[in-house]
Structure 1
Amino acid sequence: MNKNLTIDQCNELCKGTLMEHLGMKITVVEEGRVEATMPIDKRTVQPVGILHGGATIALAESVAGVGSYYLCTPEAHAVGMQLSVNHISSPRKGEVKAVAVILHQGKKSHIWQVEVFAADNKLVSVITVTNMIIKKKVS
C-alpha cells in the first residue's frame, strides 16, 4: 500500500496535470478519506460565471483516484471506471471542497462517495466514483 504518502507528496504528484491546472490542492489523505479544494475562477467556471459541472466532476474523480492510489499496493493502480453525479447548487466565487469517503474497498474495485461543498458549506454536488484496480504491467 502507498500509506506513507503525505499531502505534500500527493500535491507534488499532481504537478503538470489537470489537477494542477485547475488549482486543486489535496488537504487530507488518510485510509478511506481524501479531501481537496479547488478555486472558483476563470479556469473552473462556465461562461455565465457559475462553477462548471465538468470541473466539479474532475475534482471528484481526482480525490477518489488519490484515495484509491493510497490504498493500492505498489503493484497496482486505479483507473476511473464510472461516475454518477447530482449537481445541487452552483456557486460563483471562493472555492469548493471535496470530501471523498470510501464505500467499498474490494480487490478489483473501489467505490467512493464524494461530496462537494461551497465555501459557505452549502452542498454543491454528490458524486459516486467507481475505480477499477488493475495490476501494473511489468516491462
Structure 2
Amino acid sequence: MSKNLIDSLGIEVLELKEGYCLVEMPISELALQPFGFIHGGINVVLAETAASIGATYKLADDKIAFGMEVNCNHVAAKRSGKLLAMALRKHKGKTSEVWTIDITDEDDTLIALARMTMAIKEKR
C-alpha cells in the first residue's frame, strides 16, 4: 500500500542539485481522466512535486518549503508512456522562491509548462 500521493503515482527523482530537480512518473490508469488522457491535475502534482523537492534540497534544518501558488498551461495530451518534470529555480529570496517547470514526455514533447512560488518558513 502506498504511503502518499507521490508513491501512489510512482514519481521518482532522477536528478537533484542546487536550483534543479528532475522527476519522472509512469502514466498509469490512476493518472487518466475519463476520456483516457492524462488528467490536468497530474501535471500540477508533478510540477509541485519537482519544485517542492528542489526547494527543500539543501534548505536549512530549521526551514521548510510550502507551495504558495502554481500556474500550469497544458499544451499537449498524452495517453501512455511517462512524464518528466524539470524544475529550475528562477528566484531565491529569504522567504520565497520561484520555479519554472517543463513537463515533457519520453520523446521530449512538451506536455505542460508551469510556474511555482514556494514559501520558505520556519519549522514549528
Give the TM-score taking structure 2 as reference length.
0.96
Root-mean-square deviation over aligned CA pairs: 1.0
Q: For 1:18-57, what aligned pairs fall within 5 Å after superposition?
A: 18-57=5-44
CA contact (8 A) 2:43 2:72 kept: no
- CA deviation after TM superposition for structure 1 residue 39, in Å: 1.1
Q: For 1:8-87, what aligned pairs fall within 5 Å after superposition?
A: 16-87=3-74
Deviations 1:52-109 (A, max 9, x none): 1101100110010001110421000000000111110011110000000000011100
Counterpart residue number, 1:123: 110
Instruction: Output the amino acid matched with 1:126.
Output: L
Q: Structure 1: which 5+ runs fail to align?
A: 1-14
Q: Which one has the bigger strand percentage? A: 2
Give the TM-score taking structure 1 as reference length.
0.86
Task: State yes or no: 1:111 paired with 2:111.
Answer: no
3-state SS, counterpart of residue 31 of structure 2 = coil
Q: Aligned residues: percent identity? A: 32
Distance 2:79 2:105 in 1: 9
Q: Segments of 4+ in structure 1 off by > 6 A?
A: none
3-state SS, counterpart of residue 51 of structure 1 = coil
3-state SS, counterpart of residue 50 of structure 1 = coil
Distance 2:102 2:76 in 1: 12
Distance 1:97 1:107 in 2: 29
How many residue pairs match? The answer is 123
3-state SS, counterpart of residue 82 of structure 1 = strand
Q: Structure 2: which 5+ runs fail to align?
A: none
